[in-house]
Structure 1
């Protein structure tokens, strides 16, 4: 009987797996919280989270015999990067009416590759800014379940917008009856859509406050949601514990979004000094995708962009870069977002150099994609820095990114949760 009981306990009692320990060493580490560089860092990761940070020569905590050691000699260690504006189910090679060549689920299937590409480029966390069919929610679930490899995903579900606006479907004639997935007019309709996005797994709410570049028959500078509508969305989202991001190119739409209480404003192409002041005083983060314009203007016609879209990009591209410079000088709070999917996924690291060109220091540019982004996500407890308690998400570059920011366009090593997922050394 005693042997039988022991056997039963062995079968039903949950086994206690040994903690997985990884020790990472490098020549340098960018401490984004203090804004300084640490020489000869040592980072200990236990079960995917950072448990100890020190320097070579410090007394290490007791390590198990099977601890894994990662030696990144000659490299600088940084926190895993965060892209705050990504469209995983988009594909820049199929624009305009070329998108109609494929069945609906094609976009979700090809998004699996996009997710892996983003991770391989060093973006261990991304914020999805709108996806059809809740494909970004599906991708997050598949990554979390270990079924596919990808970054940590913060999904928005469908982007909310007005009838005929940037987030509606204006590509087809009335006989098709095609509309956007979350179109509403008036506060009550938009409140219902906020609840619907949360119901199906959204972790952030995106609204389209103005027209856009990539839509048909909308003007980027034109306000499309009233301040009353924006406030209704924000109040409901915040009540439900969700943050709100507003697509807004035009001056008045930007001001309305800030006055309405949004947490981040995306694109921000035509912001004026008053908008910068409002953003700074209200603690609103600005996300400005100032890298993609060169690719769009060079490749847009080839991939099927409509002449209307290219004309709008010519109008907006440089204006946005000039606005970025003014926002930096004006002390606005800035976060890193690229609009990946409008241009190819995996190229986003090239934006760091453009951000420095238009007024940021290298450290500010890095912080925009790490500690700032984590704060904007309300996730400073788990991503955005190499610090005890946060995920063991890191990237390494061969050299000093503060002296050569372009190194971040092609990171050498990507580590997610203490596991090397990409090694180009």
Structure 2
């Protein structure tokens, strides 16, 4: 049992900063939390003094590609042996953990390496964040993601493809409703899997209590996915009023992945990303910002994801998603809520993580500075606790190293 005290707590449920706090952790879980005035001097002597630092729940990143290295052309590494891809993935996941992310969702696997990696973390063979995987994304023949995804056409094939992923033991199903930025020969907003195809796959996931997520840039693809019953829309670049209305009606969540453009525009142009990808991203960026703000103001449930693993989009850069939100005018506390309890709700894990409360998992961050005062404080995490244990991982120099 650990007694931790003398810190300011960010309570993402009540949306307040609580000074002079303490927390008692037994094993993996929080068993007591409150004002440190109730602690005896003996308890303080046995405990750990956090010296007035700030404690907040571990962050979520709901949209990553753990098995993808964020270089100019990540697909150039697809030929690698699955064992090497798995090792790369572990390094990436540990980068997430060291940067304050205690829960991630992986949006597309590679060579079936992701299931074993996830299980190795769950069995505590290796250290990493809580890791939910979709296995192979489901895409139409020749669609976005077809180089690594499961191609399927028509409701019957999509139903079978979803069952294949579920048989492998995935945590959720990922579908591709539109084209993408990185795929040559297609527009990012063009419609791909249609409503009936996605509905067939979504039903299979929901039958066994699994969530679903959709890659969707164009408005028609977003509407198809929402009508099909999708749980979260990823990217949503051309989100319009009708999309937002449908999402509110059907309680569909939104993960905008704003940070991907920050990294792509800052590093991609000068470091070799294909010009067609840059042009598509520029075309979508302005519309995405407008749609995100409309969705936020309308009350759509919004979580945090960065699309880490895309070109020069690092696996230690989750803080930039929150910075992007705040720079667009989102209240800082609300951005922290999006990165924690709201994201936990989207992933379906809010009963056991996402906030610091009794009986929940002791996944939290210790920071020298309060991110409510300055969101950039999230760039420098002092300590990370996962499942009640202080995480200590070796420093690995691993590309890309960005300023």
Give TM-score, length-normalised by structure 2.
Answer: 0.92
Query: C-alpha displacement at 1:191, in angstroms?
Result: 0.9
Unaligned runs of 5+ in 1: 1-20, 170-179
Query: C-alpha displacement at 1:255, in angstroms?
Result: 1.1
2:118 is aligned with 1:150? no
Q: Are the aligned partners of 1:96 and 1:305 in contact in 2 as well (CA < 8 Å)?
A: no
Q: Are the aligned partners of 1:51 and 1:388 in contact in 2 as well (CA < 8 Å)?
A: yes
2:14 is aligned with 1:34? yes
Cα separation, 2, equivalents of 1:189 and 1:423: 43
2:363 is aligned with 1:383? no
Cα distance 1:24–1:134, how it changes in 2: closer, same or farther (>3 A)?
farther
Higher mean Cα deviation, 336-345 or 51-60?
A: 51-60
Aligned to 2:250: 282
Which of 31, 40, 43 is equivalent to 1:51? 31
Higher mean Cα deviation, 132-141 or 344-353?
A: 132-141
- Alignment root-mean-square deviation, CA: 2.1
Cα distance 1:302–1:399, how it changes in 2: closer, same or farther (>3 A)?
same
Aligned to 2:94: 116
Unaligned runs of 5+ in 2: 395-403
2:288 is aligned with 1:320? yes
Query: C-alpha displacement at 1:362, in angstroms?
Result: 0.9
Query: C-alpha displacement at 1:328, in angstroms?
Result: 1.3
Aligned to 1:125: 103
Query: C-alpha displacement at 1:258, in angstroms?
Result: 0.9
Q: Are the aligned partners of 1:329 and 1:359 in contact in 2 as well (CA < 8 Å)?
A: no
1:343-372 residue CA offsets vs partner (Å, 9 max, x unmatched): 111011122111012232111111111111
SS at match of 2:267: helix
Q: Are the aligned partners of 1:116 and 1:149 in contact in 2 as well (CA < 8 Å)?
A: yes
Higher mean Cα deviation, 89-98 or 403-412?
A: 89-98
Aligned to 1:162: 140
Which of 32, 39, 47 is equivalent to 1:69? 47
Q: Report how many aligned residue pairs link the two structures.
A: 391
Query: C-alpha displacement at 1:107, in angstroms?
Result: 2.3
2:65 is aligned with 1:87? yes
Q: Are the aligned partners of 2:78 and 2:110 in contact in 1 as well (CA < 8 Å)?
A: no
Give TM-score, length-normalised by structure 1.
Answer: 0.87
Q: Are the aligned partners of 1:130 and 1:157 in contact in 2 as well (CA < 8 Å)?
A: yes
Aligned to 2:401: none
SS at match of 1:338: coil
Cα separation, 1, equivalents of 2:58 and 2:168: 28
2:231 is aligned with 1:263? yes
SS at match of 2:117: helix
Cα separation, 2, equivalents of 1:251 and 1:97: 27
